[in-house]
Amino acid sequence: MKRAFAALLALVFALALGAAAFAQTQVGIVLPTKDEPRWIQDQTRFLDALKTAGISAKVLFSQGDSAKEKANVEALITEGIKVLVICPQDGAAAAAAADAAAKAGVKVISYDRLIRGTANVDYYVTFDSFQVGAAWGSYLVSKVPAGSKGNNLYLYAGAASDNNAFIFFEGAWSVLQPKIADGTFIVRNSDKAVALMKKPTLTRDEQAQIIGQVTTNWNFADAKAKAEANLTAAKAAAKGTVYICAPNDGTARAIADAFRADKAVKTYYITGQDAEIASIQYIIYGKQSMTVLKDVRTLVSDAIAAAIAFTKGQVPPKTTTYNNGVKDVPAKPTAIVTVTKDNVKAAIVDSGYWPASNFTGLK
């Protein structure tokens, strides 16, 4: 009798614990690093949206470390999450974390970056990353004097461990390659890109060869060092007016600073993405030429809606798929917006993305 009572008590206790775990964290959110403003944006927008979403969630950061990322996922599984929303630090390495989640019956949503090499990705919440790269290309082409040849082009890319770096590059190449092939641009910092300039479409391996030469690793210090090394190697003819395809705002500011410090560079045009506050200020001051606004609020609300759908046994909306090497992962990519000095006020401030009080010199 006593034993039965104890067993019953244990059961009640376990059920209560389970319920508490469920009540505490239904959705686990794992982001790559606190050290880049982009992912702080995502955390902030998640915390805002979760106030009204009616689900319980927890955000953890991996700090650029796939082992920490896996430990975060395991901790969340132990807390009883039903859905994992994860932006992988390294797309291939994160497959193990996705597999562990799936084994525990947790649905896996790849957030912004695609997890590669596993079938255990249920959904991909993303921006249209091809269009991000295409927007860089179109912007740079639009700044070239009509009919001119031999304009100096410097290419930079994100980290090769991030699948997005390839998609951004593919989008940029789709616009820039014809203009490299016809002599409008000369690529000044990648002999691999020069060697491949006649190919409109590159294989992943060919993309990797170019990215390997021009990667910033998504790291500001690496970006600065690479730009400085490129400038040291460049002859005077490769300076003057330059067109720089920079892969995001943090690296764009670092690369722009390096080019501005070179006296032989008279004018530069440089791209970016993320609409980081510091880059919006750079655009207002004319130190960065453009950025791509990827409205994180939309990404966050799509991720939360997908998580809720999964907890109800439903399937989130799909307009396309992205292949991760093993599976065509369903997705509904979100549109992007090009931001320059001309539309910065409308696109960033009037849209409510960032308040005007963050900026000086806004007209």
| 168 versus 359: smaller Cβ distance to ligand BGC | 168
Q: Which is nearer to ligand BGC, 26 or 273 (CB)?
A: 273
CA distance 96 to 75: 14
In the complex with ligand BGC, the residue whose CB is nearer, 233 or 335, is 335
For tokens 């525990």, name the residue: 104
Task: State in angstroms the smallest separation of the CB of 273 from ligand BGC.
Answer: 6
Kindly state the smallest distance separating residue 234's Cβ from ligand BGC, in Å: 26
Q: Least distance from C-beta 274 to ligand BGC, angstroms?
A: 5
Minimum distance from residue 112 beta carbon to ligand BGC (Å)? 5
Give the residues lining the site for ligand BGC (CB under 6 A). 36, 38, 112-113, 158, 162, 164, 218, 248, 273-274
Per-residue tokens: 25: 């964290």
Long-range contacts at 45-54 (CB < 8 A, ≥ 24 apart): 45/296, 45/297, 45/299, 45/300, 46/300, 46/303, 46/304, 48/300, 49/297, 49/300, 49/301, 49/304, 50/304, 53/304, 53/308, 54/308
Residues 6+ apart with CB under 8 A from 261: none
How many residues does the structure list for the chain? 363
Nearest distance from C-beta of residue 113 to ligand BGC, angstroms: 5
Shortest reach from residue 133's CB to ligand BGC, in Å: 11
Least Å distance between CB 63 and ligand BGC?
13
Pairing of strands 240-245, 185-187: unpaired
Q: Considering beta carbons, is residue 36 or 151 the nearer one to ligand BGC?
A: 36
Q: How far apart (Å, rounded) are the C-alpha atoms in residues 125 and 109?
A: 7
CB of 106 to ligand BGC, least distance (A): 23
The phi and psi torsions of 332 (rounded to 5 degrees) equal: -135, 85
In this chain, which residue has its C-beta nearest to ligand BGC? 248
For ligand BGC, the closer CB: 38 or 58? 38
DSSP 79-143: TT-SEEEE--SSTTTTHHHHHHHHHTT-EEEEESS---S-S---EEE-B-HHHHHHHHHHHHHHT
Residue 317 CB coordination number (10 Å): 13
Q: Which residue, 156 or 218, has its beta carbon nearer to ligand BGC?
A: 218
* CB nearer to ligand BGC: pick between 36 and 122: 36
- What is 223-287 written as a DSSP string? HHHHHHHHHHH--GGG-EEEEEE-SSHHHHHHHHHHHHT-TTEEEEEE---S--HHHHHHHHHTS
Nearest to ligand BGC of 35, 79 (CB atom): 35
CA distances from 160 to 166, 211, 212, 213, 214 (A): 7, 7, 7, 10, 10
Using the minimum distance from each CB to ligand BGC, give the nearer residue, 151 or 215: 215
